[in-house]
Structure 1
Amino acid sequence: MSVGQMATSNLPALVSRSTPRRKWQLPAAPTTFFSPPRKNLRSHQKFKGAVRLSMVDLETSPPSPKQDTTGGGGGGGMGELVDFLYRDLPHLFDDKGIDRTAYDAAVKFRDPITRHDDLNSYLLNIATLKLLFRPQFDLHWAKQTGPSEITTRWSMVMRFLLLPWQPQLVFTGTSVMSVNPETNKFIRHVDYWDSIVSSEFFLIEGLIDVIRQLRYYKMPHLEMPSYHILKRTASYQVRKYGPFSVVERDGDSLAGSGVFNDLAGYIFGKNSASQRMAVTPPVDGNTQASSSVDEKSEISIQFVLSSAKSMKSLPTPNEGVKLREVEGGIAGVSSFSGKPTESIVKEKEKSLRCRLIRNGLKPKPGCLLALYNDPDVTCEHIMRNEVLIWLEEFSLD
Structure 2
Amino acid sequence: MATTQFHRPMPPACVISWRSSATRPTGLSPLHSLPKEIKTRDIAVKVNSKFKWALKLSLQVNQSPLKSTVDMEKLVGFLYDDLPHLFDDQGIDRTAYDERVKFRDPITKHDTISGYLFNISMLKILFKPNFMLHWVKQTGPYEITTRWTMVMKFMILPWKPELVFTGTSIMGVNPETGKFCSHVDFWDSIKNNDYFSLEGFGDVFKQLRIYKTPDLETPKYQILKRTANYEVRRYTPFTVVETNGDKLSGSTGFKDVTGYIFGQNSTAEKIPMTTPVFTQASDAERSNVFIQVVLPVDKNINSYPDPNKQTVSLRKVEGGIAAVLKFSGKPTEEIVCEKEKALRSNIIRDGLKPDKGCLLARYNDPGRTWSFTMRNEVLIWLEEFLLD
**Superposed displacement of residue 293, structure 1:** 4.9
> What is the aligned partner in structure 2 of residue 253 from structure 1?
247
Counterpart CA distance in 2 for 1:90 and 1:40 is 30
CA contact (8 A) 1:73 1:147 kept: no
Could you tell me which residue of structure 1 aligns to residue 290 of structure 2?
Answer: 300
CA change 1:262–1:191 in 2 (3 A) is same
CA distance in 1, matches of 2:215, 2:327: 19
Q: Which has the higher contact order (CA 8 A, sep 6+)?
A: 1
Aligned pair partner of 2:147 in 132, 148, 153: 153
Instruction: Tell me, yes or no, if structure 1 residue 344 matches structure 2 residue 335.
Output: yes
Indicate the residue corresponding to 2:305 in structure 1. Answer: 315
Task: Give distance in 1, aligned partners of 2:286 and 2:337.
Answer: 15
Matched-pair contact (CA < 8 Å) for 2:248–2:333: yes
Q: Give distance in 2, aligned partners of 1:373 and 1:367.
A: 19
Kept in 1, the 8 Å contact 2:278–2:359? The answer is no
What RMSD, in angstroms, separates the aligned Cα atoms of the two structures? 2.2
1:111 equivalent to 2:93? Answer no
Match of 1:386 in 2: 377
Would the alpha carbon gap of residues 86 and 133 (structure 1) be closer, same or farther in structure 2, given more than 3 Å must change? same
Trace 1:101-140 onto structure 2 (pairs within 5 A): 101-140=95-134
Q: Indicate conservation of the 8 Å contact 1:158/1:168, yes or no.
A: yes
Q: Is the 8 A contact 1:72 1:181 kept in 2?
A: no
Among 191, 197, 216, the residue aligned to 1:197:
191
Change (3 A) 1:82 1:256: closer
CA offsets, 1:238-275, max 9 Å, x none?
A: 10001111111112234544511111211111111111
- Aligned residue for 2:71, secondary structure, equals helix
Secondary structure at the residue paired with 1:312?
helix
Q: Distance in 1 between matches of 2:119 and 2:52?
A: 25
Corresponding position: 1:185 with 2:179: yes
Q: Tell me: CA distance 1:257–1:393, structure 2 relative to 1, closer, same or farther (3 Å).
A: closer
Once the two structures are TM-superposed, the CA of residue 71 in structure 1 deviates from its matched residue by 2.5
1:173 pairs, out of 167, 180, 184, with 167
Of 216, 219, 237, which residue of structure 2 is paired with 1:225? Answer: 219
Amino acid at match of 2:122: T
Structure 1 residue 73 displacement after superposition: 3.3
One-letter code aligned to 1:92: L
Is the partner of 2:364 in helix, strand or coil? Answer: coil
Change (3 A) 1:172 1:223: same
Structure 1 unmatched ranges of 5 or more? 1-31, 45-68, 281-285
- In structure 2, how many angstroms separate the alpha carbons of the residues matched to 1:307 and 1:149? 42
Kept after mapping to 2: 8 A contact 1:38/1:198: no
Cα 1:349–1:173 change in 2 (3 A) is same
Residue in structure 2 matched with residue 283 of structure 1 by the alignment: none
- Aligned residue identity for 1:297: S
Does 2:344 match 1:353? yes
Residue of structure 2 in register with 1:96 after alignment: 90
Per-residue CA deviation, residues 166-193 of structure 1 (Å, 9 max, x unaligned), is: 1111111000111111111111111000
> Cα distance, 1:383 vs. partner?
0.7
The superposition leaves residues 20-66 of structure 1 with CA deviations (integer Å, 9 ceiling, x where unpaired) of: xxxxxxxxxxxx87xx5875799x9xxxxxxxxxxxxxxxxxxxxxx
For 1:246 and 1:275, the matched residues in 2 are separated by 16
Q: Where does residue 202 of structure 2 map in the other structure?
A: 208
Q: Structure 1 residue 144: deviation in Å?
A: 1.3
1:27 aligns with none
Find the counterpart in structure 2 of residue 73 from structure 1: 68
Question: For 2:101, what is the secondary structure of its paired residue?
Answer: strand
Q: Which residue of 2 aligns with 1:289?
A: 278
Name the CA distance, whole Å, in 2 between partners of 1:309 and 1:140. Answer: 29
Write the deviation string for residues 255-313 of structure 1: whole angstroms up to 9, x where unpaired: 54451111121111111111111116xxxxx5533332545713211111111222111
Question: What TM-score does the superposition give when structure 1 sets the normalisation length?
Answer: 0.79
Paired residue for 1:66? none
1:364 aligns with 2:368: no
SS at match of 1:269: coil
Residue 86 of structure 1: CA displacement?
1.1
**Could you tell me how far apart the structure 2 residues matched to 1:41 and 1:393 are?**
32
Q: Which moved more, 1:252-261 or 1:225-234?
A: 252-261
What amino acid is the match of 1:229?
Answer: I
CA distance in 1 between counterparts of 2:363 and 2:356 reads 23
Q: Higher mean Cα deviation, 343-352 or 296-305?
A: 296-305
The count of aligned residue pairs is: 333
TM-score normalised by length of structure 2: 0.81
SS at match of 1:225: coil
**What is the distance in 1 between the residues matched to 2:100 and 2:286?**
64
% of aligned pairs identical? 59
In 2, the alpha carbon distance for the partners of 1:112 and 1:178 equals: 18
Distance (whole Å) between structure 2 residues aligned to residue 308 and residue 396 of structure 1? 30
CA distance in 1, matches of 2:95, 2:250: 62
CA contact (8 A) 1:139 1:154 kept: yes
Runs (4+) of structure 1 exceeding 3 A deviation are 36-42, 254-258, 293-296
CA contact under 8 A between 2:84 and 2:131: conserved in structure 1?
Answer: yes
Distance in 2 (CA, whole Å) between partners of 1:262 and 1:288 is 13
Show the counterpart of 1:236: 230
